[in-house]
Chain A
């Protein structure tokens, strides 16, 4: 009986998130219907624009499950993009090789952070904040120019690939009478694959379960025989690795690199996870919630853009306000639970 009740609290948060998304999207369809908000393509564009964020949010969820946090992700994405762009444009390197390099860098970066957090017991926030400034600074060390990716035909083709939705679902005639078939791009497929894999990992593998155990109660996890330090190390490595995948997606979307790229992305990722029902104290959450969290943040920025008159800073204020709302909600839930005990 008691267990059912505690489960309900978390399910309510997830349901609230999904409901919020549906309401927000429906409101957008009603208000901006004639601007094309109700087309399927608008929804797919949210996915396309946020495919990098989806990967990052998955990694963030894994780290937050252990009770930690990783705020280095935005800067790491900037570094990844810069390496990709600089390697392709100024050094003429093979894009596939560069992608492998970037992924390896993600693993290394995560290893160092995870080692500091897991084995040296330093606060995750301090470690990843240092990582954040380090990565951003390294981006500037490589180049302070605004680079755009043009020379590698392979990479350009990869980024421009269109995957049409089968059976013409959601197809519509545009104003010139031409049939528009909704499509997604490669990064979306990568991101969706990442979500499915992480979902399976979290639910059905030993590693995934140990993430929940460590976040739920570190001491009892250690007493059960789990290697808490190694689990934390792996969580941070996974986060940075997924972040690097996100970086590649991000680079495919923007086809450019600059020092200021993806600033504040860590905020979006954390907000998405929290809105999706991941507890900041760890132990509760899943990637499905984070997926809807990303959709909500994406919808907010699309709404602001569609309006056209609002300043772009409104979207970050709205996301911060939502984050605040959900954090307060979580804390109230936790307090109620503690009082009941």
Chain B
């Protein structure tokens, strides 16, 4: 009994438990439909690249994982979520492709500016959006979700303006590298891994992680203890914007175009969901980055499974919304109190 309790108390219990649940569902489904039961886990090499559903999950989940990194910090520091990430992704992708193709050009096979300039501009755009959100939240003390609501609707529209209402295609081969393959491994996986490792190193090797948690737990106390709370919150939003920009460019490179209306659509839900699924409280404070990353890949596994089951992409949000609500209800203090009271009552009854 005590070992089970110890396990469930672990912060990584929820994400890993969900991951196992999804995998079990996949095994059951494969077995039931008469396929090889471990279809989900088989990895093979076809046409010189890795192939398999697990690779697919890792590959497609890269954007969500990158977003989850930024979102975790924002949730931790400001007790609110950044709902503009999906739109910022779209804006960054538009910015990048607009620079690369030239304004008003729908399809370009030659790059107008060096590739790195386009990528840098896209990421920078994300940072600017993050700084805007951060300024509103940290210095003007506006509720995070309302502040980010502005860019949630405006960023996509600005992206459309940048692209002159067109879907800009970049047909140069070098552009597609970021969303393609490096050797046999899909590049997005590498990008996500680098992003996560860098972030974990920054958080562990510097005091930033500690500061963020301290600001999230009590902003005023941290201020009195000598931390510049406002600057730290602002920094979290800038990092979140940077992650969104990076994710947007990866996504654009994957489809070799800037489709403003569809890039990053509903990604904010996935990002928030992965933070919640990672065992982090949406009320701010302590966070576990690794949990969020596992959460992100779990979400992608759920999406892939749903698609494999024949659910269309536009129907998938129904199930994700239900999962969000269930997790949030389980996390809510009222529900926890209720459970505690019940177990206390049962203990009292057992004692007689």
Contacts and interface: CB of A to CB of B under 8 A. Distances in A.
B70 to A, nearest CB: 18
Interface stretch (A14-22, A166-174, A248-256, A308-316): A308-316
A123 B333 CA distance: 12
A320 B153 contact: yes
Given A311-B165, A317-B154, A122 B142 contact: no
Contact of B154 (A69, A280, A321): A321
Contact of B152 (A134, A267, A311): A267
B83 A316 contact: no
A311 B166 CA distance: 11
Interface string B112-147: 000000000000000000000000100011110111
A137 B321 contact: yes
A214 B314 CA distance: 37
Interface stretch (B228-236, B324-332, B344-352): B324-332
B150 A327 contact: yes
Contacts of A130: 321-322, 324-325, 328
B334 A119 contact: yes
A126 B328 contact: yes
B320 interface: yes
A316 B149 CA distance: 12
B318 A264 contact: no
Contacts of B329: 116, 120, 122
Contacts of B325: 116, 127, 130
Interface in A312-341: 313-314, 316-317, 319-321, 323-324, 327-328, 331-332, 334-335
Contact of A134 (B83, B149, B165, B317): B317
Q: Which of A123, A259, A314 has the most CB of B within 10 A?
A: A123
Contacts of B161: 311, 313-314, 317
A140 B312 contact: yes
Contacts of B136: 324, 327-328
A188 B145 CA distance: 32
Contacts of B332: 120-122
B145 A141 contact: no
A120 B319 CA distance: 21
A320 B83 CA distance: 14
B81 interface: yes
Given A121-B332, A270-B149, A327-B147, A140 B315 contact: yes
Q: Which of B136, B283, B321 has the most CB of A within 10 A?
A: B321
A94 B280 CA distance: 48
Contact of B324 (A126, A259, A332): A126
Given A116-B325, A126-B282, A316-B157, A331 B314 contact: no
Interface in A95-148: 116, 119-123, 125-127, 129-134, 136-138, 140-141, 144
Contacts of A327: 136, 140, 142, 146-147, 150
A236 to B, nearest CB: 14
A133 B266 contact: yes
Nearest to B332: A120
Contact of B315 (A131, A141, A316): A141
Contacts of B335: 120
Q: Which of A130, A132, A136 has the most CB of B within 10 A?
A: A130
- Where chain B touches its partner, the secondary structure class is helix
A129 B272 contact: yes
Contacts of B154: 316-317, 320-321
A313 B155 CA distance: 10
B247 interface: no
B168 interface: no
B158 interface: yes
Contacts of A140: 312, 314-315, 318
Contacts of B140: 327-328, 331-332, 335
Given A121-B332, A144-B312, A267 B141 contact: no
Contacts of A324: 136, 150
A331 B318 contact: no
B321 A120 contact: no
B316 interface: yes
Contacts of A123: 282-283
B334 A120 contact: yes
Contact of B143 (A126, A131, A280): A280
B269 interface: yes
16 contacts: A116-B325, A120-B332, A121-B332, A122-B328, A126-B328, A133-B269, A134-B317, A137-B320, A137-B321, A138-B318, A259-B314, A311-B165, A328-B136, A328-B142, A331-B142, A334-B141
Interface of A: 69, 71, 116, 119-123, 125-127, 129-134, 136-138, 140-141, 144, 259, 264, 267, 270, 280-281, 311, 313-314, 316-317, 319-321, 323-324, 327-328, 331-332, 334-335
Query: Which 3 residue pairs spanning A and B have beta carbons closest together?
Result: A137-B318, A320-B154, A140-B314
